[in-house]
Structure 1
């Protein structure tokens, strides 16, 4: 039995897919780029009334939504399988656990939420092109500001929380490629920029990146 991921290339499902890959858990993807229209949103609506990505269906049929929750659940649930991969989250009694949860919550609350507006700016701006352009500019600036806030309060090692790769690294690596994209990310978050470059280069994820979020020309912005 395997997992099912409702997702899309380059979307918030990619860190979930990366986590499943590193944990060596079988999964299939139902492609549903919800920003492309009502039909795609309805496809997701069957399993998530919010009609948002990602959605994870466990082998037992349980439905999980919210990217941070999925990543934490996977990391905790499969952390210590006999013969399994290295844990992808600090244990509950690890001194780093509080900061792990802090930043795993910060990303969807402060950054990821901006893309609900950006995907369809008319949701808040109406049909006026000038208002929509202003919304896109302001949300891009807010995202950059939030990355800078996080960068100033974190002291990475090889990875964001030290020497251990966690799902936080996967989350930031994918989200930092969205608008305002990596070049701006490196300007406002130079400490984290070094970490995401390491995650970009992980051998175990090269096939996934090439299929689900390829480093095409101009990808850095």
Structure 2
């Protein structure tokens, strides 16, 4: 079986892609490129993505895919045996596509400026602090809106897990971190804890996004 190649980094947007590949059982290799750490890391990605962003997926056929949501949807479609996305005609399909688009458009996009605040507000510490506060508020508001619109079962779209669950489980770990996520999206919070605890990913999470320190999930209320 031919191998996928993922350009990514621990704790980054490549993690849901790597998690999906792990659940699929497809062999893959990671080229570590922590693009949020500076220009040298971003240049590692430049040959495969002019935007100098991760994740990037190189397929076994040599095709290059960028954009985390597109990669996740494509992987699920290429490996239907893994049942990680509702197929066309499934009544869950429309909402699956809706939220797989919403997460990167409304939430993930905030991190382009949060990773390097000077991109939009220059080097003024006060402006950067205000940007930090406002983007955290915006991210929280988006999670809250998603919470209001969903009726989760065991997972976000019902009783079967999809790549949307992997996506939200990772992005909800980023700032403003899980405590605030659970505050604004408690039902979704139950789902992401379920994803965190998947036995199939028990070895994966500690290696690629260790849920400890700032990223530790608060204990659920009894």
Regarding TM over 0.5, the answer is yes
- 1:78 is aligned to 79
Find out whether 1:39 has 2:40 as its counterpart. Answer: yes
Instruction: Using the TM superposition, give the Cα deviation of residue 217 of structure 1 relative to its aligned residue in structure 2, in angstroms.
Output: 3.0
Work out the CA distance in 1 between the residues paired with 2:90 and 2:208: 32
- 1:116 is aligned to 112
TM-score, normalised on structure 1?
Answer: 0.96
Q: Which runs of 4+ in 1 moved over 4 A?
A: none
Find out whether 1:191 has 2:191 as its counterpart. Answer: no
Work out the CA distance in 2 between the residues paired with 1:216 and 1:185: 16
Secondary structure at 2:15 match in 1: helix
- 1:158 is aligned to 154
Please tell me the root mean square deviation across aligned C-alpha atoms, in Å: 0.9
Q: How does 1:1-221 map to 2 (within 5 A)?
A: 1-80=2-81, 85=82, 87-220=83-216
Work out the CA distance in 1 between the residues paired with 2:211 and 2:131: 27
Work out the CA distance in 2 between the residues paired with 1:12 and 1:35: 11
Secondary structure at 1:156 match in 2: coil
| Unaligned residue ranges in structure 1 (runs of 5+) | none
TM-score, normalised on structure 2?
Answer: 0.96
Secondary structure at 2:210 match in 1: coil
| Unaligned residue ranges in structure 2 (runs of 5+) | 218-222
Work out the CA distance in 1 between the residues paired with 2:216 and 2:20: 23
Contact residue 140 and residue 181 of structure 2 kept, 8 A: yes
1:168-215 alpha-carbon deviations (Å, 9 max, x no partner): 000000000000010000000011000000000000001110100012
1:4-60 alpha-carbon deviations (Å, 9 max, x no partner): 000000000000000000000000000000011111101011100000110000011
Secondary structure at 1:113 match in 2: helix
1:133-167 alpha-carbon deviations (Å, 9 max, x no partner): 11111111100000000000000000000011100
Secondary structure at 2:203 match in 1: helix
The count of corresponding residues between Structure 1 and Structure 2 is: 216
Work out the CA distance in 1 between the residues paired with 2:15 and 2:60: 19
